[in-house]
Structure 1
Amino acid sequence: MSKLVTIFGGSGFVGRYVARRLAKNGWRVRVAVRRPNEAMHVKPYGVPGQVEPVLCNIRDDASVASVMNGSDAVVNCVGILAEVGKNSFDAVQADGAARVARIAAEQGVGQMVHLSAIGADADSESDYARTKAEGEAAVVAAFPKAVVLRPSIIFGPEDDFFNRFAGMMGPVLPLVGGETKFQPVYVDDVAQAAVLAVEGQAEPGIYELGGPDVRSMKELMHEMLSVIRRRKLIVNLPFFVGSLMGWSFDLVKKLSFGLIKGPITADQVKLLRKDNVVSDTSKGFADLGLTPSATEAVLPDYLWRFRPSGQYLAIKESAKNLRQS
């Protein structure tokens, strides 16, 4: 019988790519999510019954233990960019990660992969970065053979980065942290790294994953605008303005009981104060034998829908070059 892997958050942005690759490699895949009915898109990744969404609450021991039962490997892709209700940074990224690792060790799971993030720092002012670091520490303490992946900003067809900025209306594109450096990494490259770890082809430890290019937020926005063939004035807002905006949006969200969400939070502004790039001393793609994809090779494949004429723009541009007979 083929091996079984449980992927927590397996229907999300990164998790779905990990699930698809493992299913292709013959694994039975159990996708542990809060809302299985919204995760049916993962079922066609394999033959009938090979990939199955199951209900799981990462904040509950019994729930985590139940979906992990019989697994040969575990991948934790659960993470949040903003707190919602009981799903706080501490509950999900620190306590939740610790719970998955502890129960995996108790059940004798063979391999564990934990998805973290570059910038994880126990001393950070950002709750996101702090809890990422606390989650990492708990995972390694409970499951010393775990592989921890720290990607920079992840891009791909379902991302909430380039898609969000490309979809903004108006002639002005406001940015907070325009000079902050990033090393964007393609989502399927991160998935490849996770699969190697699941299949025992990666040494235990922390791997920082970044693409081939290091660019500022402002430079990335220029690239995005070039891909979608639009012109906008990019305005770099001071951090004190961003902090005020984030605090205001957080207040509105709280007063509306989460119904109204702003484009940025105060915690995200804190994150933007520091560069998000691979350190010189860390293990990375090279140690896994992988070559990451560049943004220029991928962005046109999914940002075309934001162009003035969408998929027909290339045809129109080509027609302009035809000589009049």
Structure 2
Amino acid sequence: MNSEVNAPAPSPSGVRILGTAAAGGWPADGCRCASCTRLRAAGIRHAPFDALVGGTPWAECDRTDVPGGHDVRGPSGERVLVAAGPGSRPEPAEGVRYAAALLDLAGAPDHLGRLRAGRAVTAETHVAAVHVDHRVPSPAELERRLGFWLRPHAGPWRTLLLGGSRSGKSAEAEMRLAAHPDVTYVATGGARDGDPEWAARVAAHRRRRPARWRTAETTDVAGVLAAADGAVLVDGIGTWLAAAMDETGAWEDPATAVTRVLPRLDALVAAWRGTAAHVVAVTDEVGLSLVPTTPAGRAFRDALGLLNQRLAAESEDAALVVAGRVRDLA
């Protein structure tokens, strides 16, 4: 079985990673999950985490235990922050800018965002995923996620994520921005008094996203995009459109609904085109479902389909999420 014998050369930080997996390796012995089975069938095995710092095994370097891990000092004085294991979130020493950070990105990518926000990790820090295991479906999926976490886009950069109900599009959007240091979450649905099922959905979203993210419950998405210069997650375009149709009386006259709401669409597209932020927006793909049975429903579908096309045309990235699987759209 292949292993990580061809480990990468040392990084400019002086760190050479010899193995990336959790203590039991990946695939884990005896595990029948899809992740481990895929690797086993391909004859691939990732060795448990180990690394050299300046040519010295990391565990033999001078180090200080910190909550969640270790502050390691290499032979040339390089400082490396090392996660203790899966699920660990190592706390940085006060005032230290680390040459390298070896983190459990598979389980806690948002911790990288917090380290960036606190300047313990900078653009010069070598960041690597360690303690990797079957919490990630495959090495290819890990590489896809690392592309978002290790090399976050500076704005302007726009991504439109389309999908049906419960497709996983919101989770995909949150994953893409998890390691960003500065995120504003725009919730366009707002509160719905007397609707416990909706309240439960909102609560689940809040639990899933990092607590340090700012939340703006507003339908003024254009205003947020005009003012933001960090990252913005908009969830979602469909509920924004429903509110815009409420505000313009479009539901009451389906025959003129698209015409009534068109100025709102124009303003949103203009703000999307002109933003300086890194934006990820979630929207509903309504064209694959049954034709709505009411004129108002068909008017909503037509307006949202038009808006999705216009936003996608102004986006650097667009993707379709189906059953939690993501397909990029050229």
Confirm or deny a common fold (TM above 0.5): no
**Structure with more of its chain in strand, by fraction:** 2
**Structure with more of its chain in helix, by fraction:** 1
TM-score after normalising by structure 1? 0.33
Structure of greater Rg = 2
